[in-house]
Copies of this chain bind each other. A is one copy, B any other.
């Protein structure tokens, strides 16, 4: 998720930036504050800006619309826009997502989406067009205010769900404020909040600072402590007689160490497993990949392999309830080494400010020697087999392995926190495919916006299809964003699981309660209402055969237009992992 430079290079860049600014305040061409910000976003490889126009951001939108390399994506509402920025950032790993809203009404609508990016560590800039500094000073009862003169109320709310905040209030500090929040965003992989008053957008400032791109301010590991940590880990590896497994999780993706981890697993050959949130952090077709470990909900053979290993090297773990089957993972501290973005934990000892970005290559160099032994450690076969069932009902036990055969390399698969996510957890995905889910934050409806953002990123990054799995209950929350996909010519495949309500909640409580029911929409009519019917295709499938025939159809599989497939499934059917999780 972070920028591809080394920590040392990043630090040098930042120092040079400060120096150069001091040296040559007046040398460069002046630039509007709004365009300064856009230039910074362009440097961060941002090509899409999500959001909704509102009267306090219209001036800035003029600049966006005229900016050659950044496209405005007008969303239907702000929550969906925030979700889209999140999905975009997840797929476009060395960039950030940007959502633009307006003061009060717009920004508060986006809060859940921004909080989700915080929870799940996704770098998103929430940019808010606000009243002019003059208007704010008068404390007047403007529209979009709380009618009591408090112009800082929304900032105070945002402070709880963003890692850094910046208010552009004058020409002198505008550039450094913008640079500070963007640097925090790419360093910490969390959302940041920036307000742009209407009277600041066109003010001109020096463009000097733009000559040096922003770099993340990762911790520079102390070499002595880092060496000490490496030795401590090697001692444990020796004691374990190379009986070690590697467990990867979400932060491998979020904190930009995919390459370092791949280097480690390929050079050492230790068995590698993934936690649910780390699914697709490493290739699931890699020969030493053994499957998903999620505590008591794991497949028994995976569970046994992990929990009996003498040493677990855990990389980028996120210890949330769903990611660990209610904290049932038994990777007890005395035989675990944890690598994180900003600290390392060896057994019980915590080493602050020793980050994995630098530590991983050193570990790989030392552990390479174990390769021969490591490659002999057996792993389970993670492949999923389509079960033979003697009926035509589309069941969860059948559909997910069947979908496994439909996926192709480089597909981006988005799975709603519900039956979809728990179903797909058990299916290994193809090479270079990416799974997007929001297991920790778990906001239903998130996948619709994030599919929109992901589909844009897919276009830019040479990935394959964008495929969404969502339940009928979740889709109702954010459905209008399908029309934005249509408007921009995006062509995701959308599988809608129609089981008449909120099935994940039925698993938790209220199995026969009315509050978990929803109204039954005519799903196949939706896309035709949201755009030109010739640009989309919708289907309903009731049986295994119907679904299989559709999946096998070449024209369907090539995804030449946006497609929606309503899959009729049974109320009270749920995937294995969800049933186990909710009973745990």
Contact = CB atoms under 8 A, between A and B. Distances in A.
Nearest to A321: B142
Contacts of A477: 52, 76-77, 480
A480 B487 contact: no
B483 A519 contact: yes
Interface stretch (A113-121, A279-287, A297-305): A113-121
Interface in A104-120: 104-106, 108-109, 111-112, 115-116, 118-120
A141 interface: yes
Interface in A132-162: 140-147, 150, 153-154, 156-157, 160-161
A53 B111 contact: no
A510 B61 contact: yes
Interface string A503-515: 0010011100111
B478 A111 contact: no
B441 A514 contact: no
Given A55-B505, A161-B108, A477-B77, A65 B514 contact: yes
Contacts of A150: 160
Contact of A320 (B79, B147, B487): B147
A53 B502 contact: yes
Contacts of A529: 521-523, 525-526, 529
Contacts of A398: none
Interface in A512-536: 513-519, 521-523, 525-526, 528-531
A54 interface: yes
Interface in A432-487: 439-445, 476-480, 483-484, 486-487
Interface in A146-202: 146-147, 150, 153-154, 156-157, 160-161
A504 to B, nearest CB: 8
B143 A440 contact: yes
Contact of A327 (B140, B153, B510, B523): B140
A195 to B, nearest CB: 15
Given A153-B160, A480-B476, A522-B528, A318 B61 contact: no
- Copies of chain A in the complex: 2
Interface in A302-326: 318-322
Given A119-B145, A141-B318, A525-B529, 11 more contacts: A55-B505, A62-B509, A65-B514, A77-B445, A78-B112, A105-B116, A108-B115, A109-B443, A476-B483, A484-B519, A525-B525
22 contacts: A52-B477, A53-B515, A55-B505, A61-B515, A62-B513, A77-B445, A77-B476, A105-B444, A106-B112, A108-B161, A109-B112, A111-B111, A118-B147, A142-B321, A143-B439, A150-B160, A156-B157, A157-B157, A483-B521, A486-B519, A521-B531, A529-B529
**Pairs of residues from A and B, 7 with the lowest C-beta to C-beta distance, nearest first:** A105-B443, A58-B509, A108-B112, A77-B477, A153-B160, A487-B519, A157-B157
A441 B112 CA distance: 20
A505 B53 CA distance: 8
Contacts of A509: 55, 58-59, 62
A550 to B, nearest CB: 21
A441 B486 contact: no
A442 B142 CA distance: 10
Contact of A515 (B74, B111, B318): B74
A487 B318 CA distance: 41
A351 interface: no
Interface residues of A, number: 88
Interface string A487-499: 1000000000000
A222 B479 CA distance: 55
A539 interface: no
Contacts of A531: 519, 521
Contacts of A322: 143
A556 interface: no
A480 B483 contact: no
A119 B148 CA distance: 8
Most B CB contacts (10 A, CB to CB) among A54, A59, A146, A508 go to A146
Given A105-B112, A514-B72, A147 B160 contact: no
Contacts of A530: 519, 521-522
A383 to B, nearest CB: 29
Contacts of A157: 111, 156-157, 160-161
Nearest to A156: B160
Nearest to A73: B515
Contacts of A58: 505, 508-510, 513, 515
A318 B143 CA distance: 11
A77 B502 CA distance: 13
Contacts of A112: 78, 104-106, 108-109, 111
Interface in A45-87: 52-55, 58-59, 61-62, 64-65, 72, 74, 76-79
Interface string A350-384: 00000000000000000000000000000000000
